[in-house]
Structure formats: structure tokens, C-alpha cells
Amino acid sequence: MYQVYIGLGSNLGDREENLYRALEEIALIGTISLISSVYETEPVRMENCSDFLNMAIEIATTADPPLLMAQIKKIERKLGRRSASHGEPRTIDIDILLYRGFAYQDPTVQVPHPTLQNRRFALEPLVEIAPTAVHPQLEKTVASLLRNCRDNHRVLKSEIRLHGVRTI
């Protein structure tokens, strides 16, 4: 069984509902054990776009990185994600941030996420649920990565509570 940390984001349509539906779908492929608060975040490298709602979760799964990535892409398509471009608004964006304890790379997936240490919008919610998780390549805790992150984009903890979803 793997412990996996996943980041979720939405900046198109009903952002709260998009996150909630993504959580429902992810619960079908793994056991969600921790859920961060929701954060309102400034888009990174995107022009004239709405702010994102971002959060992080921990799941337990038997899926290896390629299988989990395939399952995540299927969920994204089901929830209306059309564009693969990183510069476009999206109903849902689901990223594998970290598999606890190891790194993996093939043409379809790279774990840990290759830019995790540079993304405050991913690190803030991740620190909330897994501050002592270690990036296996950089050999630093997630809390340390956040302290050293130079990303200045706005990331604010939101008061949003997804219907019936209990965060830590």
C-alpha cells in the first residue's frame, strides 16, 4: 500500500463543486486519509484567469505511479477537463505531488512532481497535512521546501468548507 499526496485545483466553473466531485471520484480509486483546507491562489503563468481553489489530500492506494496517473487523467476528463495546456483555465487539475518514500519517472509520470518545490500553491496545503513528508530526491521535508520556496504568488487559506468534507 502506498501513501500518496495529491494536489487538486480548479479555476473554471463552480470551483467548490469541482473539488468536491474530484474528491468523490478519487475516493473510488484510493482511501482518502487526510484532506487539507481549501486555499484561494493566484494563477501561475496564466493571463486573465480566475483565481484557483487548491487543496491537497493523502490517499492510500495499491496503484503504482503509472496506473494512478491513468486513473487521475480519466477523472479529469470525466469532470470536464479539456485542455492539457498548463496556461489554460481548467475545471479540475489533479497532480500527483509525492509518493511517500520513493521517486519514479517514465514518459507519462514523474514522482515527486518535478516543480513541487517551486509551487507555493501546492506546498501550503501539503504542509498542512504532511509537514514531515520527505522529498526523496531533495532529501528535505515538505515544511523545509515551503520555508525555502521563492514563489511569491498569493496563497490564502480560505473559509470555504466543501459540503460534508472534513479537513484536518
Band (pLDDT 50/70/90 cuts) for residue 167 is low
Model confidence at 163: pLDDT above 70: no
User: Average pLDDT, stretch 130-144?
Assistant: 97
> Looking at residue 55, what is its pLDDT?
98
- Catalytic residue from among 15, 21, 93, 119: 93
For the segment 35-42, the average pLDDT, to the nearest whole number, is 96
Q: Is the pLDDT of residue 139 over 70?
A: yes
Q: Which of 14, 21, 51, 81 is catalytic?
A: 81
Query: How far is residue 24's CA from residue 65's CA, in Å, rounded to a whole number?
Result: 20
In the chain, the percentage of residues whose pLDDT exceeds 90 is 82
Q: What are the grid coordinates assigned to 65, written together?
A: 505511479
* 46 pLDDT more than 80: no
Q: Single out the catalytic residue among 15, 45, 51, 95.
A: 95
100 catalytic, yes or no? no
Is 161 among the residues known to form the active site? no
CATH 3.40.50.150 fits 2-157, yes or no: no
Which of 21, 77, 82, 90 is catalytic? The answer is: 90
Q: What is the 3-state secondary structure (H, E, C) of the chain?
A: CEEEEEEEEECCCCHHHHHHHHHHHHCCCCEEEEECCCEEECCCCCCCCCCEEEEEEEEEECCCHHHHHHHHHHHHHHCCCCCCCCCCCCCCEEEEEEECCECEECCCCEECCCCHHHCHHHHHHHHHHCCCCEECCCCEEHHHHHHHCCCCCCEEECCCCCCCCCCC
The residues that bridge with 59 in the sheet, in sequence order, are: 4, 32
pLDDT in tens, 112-129: 999 999 999 999 999 999
Is 45 catalytic? The answer is: no
What are 74-99's pLDDT values in tens digits? Answer: 999 999 887 666 677 889 999 999 99
- In the residue annotation, 93 being an active-site residue is answered as yes
Instruction: Check residue 138 and give its pLDDT.
Output: 97
Contact between 18 and 79 (Cβ < 8 Å): yes
Q: Please state, rounded to an integer, the average pLDDT across all residues of the chain.
A: 93
Name the residue ranges covered by the structural domains of the chain. Answer: 2-157
**Would you say residue 109 has pLDDT above 70?**
yes
